[in-house]
Every structure is written in C-alpha cells, then in structure tokens.
Amino acid sequence: MSKSASGGESGGMRRMGRDALLRESLSALAADPRAPMLELAKTLDVGRTTLYRHFGDRDALVAEVARLGARMFVEAFLSARPEEGPGLAAVERVCDRLFTVPEALTLLFADNPIITDDVFAEVERERRDTEVAGSGGSASAGPKSAGESDDPLEWVIARGQADGSITAEVPVEWAAAYVFLTIGSGHLYSIAVEAADPSARARGLELTIRAVRRTLGAGSDI
C-alpha cells in the first residue's frame, strides 16, 4: 500500500512550508468552513500527516487561520489611512480596503464565524505588543486618544461627527454597527452572484459605499 493510500504523503503531492499551508488553508476554509482535515489536505494537495505535523489538529489549524484572517482584516483597515481626511471619506476608504480581503470577510460573516471578537482582541494585543517592542517600550496609542472608543471604526465615525462630515443624529455605536453589517451585506451579495456576474464584487462595493454615504453623510434624513 502506498503512503498516499494510507493517509500519508506521496511523491506526487506538493511540499509546502507552514506559512504557505496556512494561507491556502484559509482559502480552503473560506470555501468550506466545515471541511475536515482529510478534505483540507486533498484541497491543498498535501498529505494529511503534513497538516497534523505543522498544526497538531484541526482546532489548532482553525485557530491559526482565524488569527491570520484577523490580521489581514486589521492590515486592510489600517491601509485605508483612517486617521486622514474627513471622517466619512475615511469610512468609505475602509469599505474599499476591506473588500480586498474577501476570504477574511467570508470567515468573519459566516453563519458560524471562524474570526470572532476574541480573535480580534488577541490580534490587537499582539499588534500593540509588537509596536511597544519596536519603539523601546514607548509606542503611541495610535490614532485613538485617551478617553475615546477602543473600537477603531467607532473612533473614525466619532472623528467624522466632530469634523461635520458624518451626521451627529445617530449614536456612534449604531453607526459603526451599520457600517460593519453593510460591508457584510455587500460582500455576501458579491460572492452569491459573482459566478454569474464577474462585476458583482465591484457592484457590491459600490452599493456598500453608496448606502454608507447616504445614511451617515452630514444632512442625511434618518
């Protein structure tokens, strides 16, 4: 019996490093969040023992994928330069940048999400620890000032209300939840129809930004 037939590796399977396995596992779980280790190994074209050797078990692999997806989300958010320009424009840039990490969004907005608030909290602690280490123990607090929200999206919205670009008629927490759920709606729409319509992702982003602008823009009647 060959190694591949018994669950091991064969010479025809790819040899991948841990980082590559993790990134491709994220893609595979975004396509099928319930996939067992055997199916993941088949999708990645590696031996099942390779996944067990690198990650221990499925729970450990899923936890690593969740952290990777959360890091991708945070990096996309920060790449939108949320501290620059009018707050509403910053929120629109956030929408645009988050649409560039569709697999992370899928894992976040799934019925049983792999990326959770606890994972985001862990990744944020990791990011701040890295900043502190890189600055010799005196990292800045980032764009947030003392006394302001710990939620970065709420911080951007509060900034927009202060500069007049976002209506002050809604609570910051409601506005942040609205933006988050609208991004989710636009993303889920795009993946539902993109097989039949290659322009669906661009359309989903357009609808998302239009909804955010109309609802939160200064002068909105809500």
Q: Which domains does the chain have, with CATH numbers?
A: 57-101+117-216 (1.10.357)
pLDDT at 56: 94
- Tokens 């947030």, located at residue: 144
Helix (H) or strand (E) holding 103: helix 102-109
Average pLDDT over residues 74-83: 96
Length of the chain in terms of residues written: 222
Asked if pLDDT for residue 84 goes beyond 80, the answer is yes
Number of neighbours of residue 124 by Cβ within 10 angstroms: 14
Question: Which of 12-26, 38-52, 206-220 bottoms out in mean pLDDT, i.e. has the lowest?
Answer: 12-26
**Band (180; pLDDT cuts 50, 70, 90):** very high
Q: Which band of pLDDT confidence, cut at 50, 70 and 90, is reported for residue 145?
A: very low
Q: What is the mean pLDDT of residues 193-200?
A: 86
Residue with tokens 């729409």: 189
Mean pLDDT of all residues in the chain?
88
Stretch among 34-43, 130-139, 152-161 having the lowest mean pLDDT: 130-139
Task: Check residue 38 and give its pLDDT.
Answer: 95
Residue 13 has pLDDT above 90, yes or no: no
The predicted structure's pLDDT at residue 137:
62
Nearby residues of 107 by Cβ (< 8 Å), 6 or more positions away: 26, 29, 30, 33, 65, 66, 69, 113, 114, 115
DSSP reduced 3-state for 205: helix
Angle between helices 172-193 and 87-98 (to 10 degrees): 30
Q: What is the pLDDT of residues 26-60, one digit of tens each?
A: 999 999 999 999 999 999 999 999 999 999 999 99
pLDDT at 82 over 80: yes
Q: Assign 175 a pLDDT band (cuts: 50, 70, 90).
A: very high
Residue 147 has pLDDT above 50, yes or no: no
pLDDT of residue 222: 60
For residue 163, the surrounding DSSP H or E stretch is helix 152-163
E strands, 53-129, in order: none
When pLDDT is averaged across residues 130-137 and rounded to a whole number, the result is 75
d(CA 53, CA 63): 15
Please tell me the predicted confidence (pLDDT) of residue 215: 97
**pLDDT band, residue 218 (cuts 50/70/90):** confident
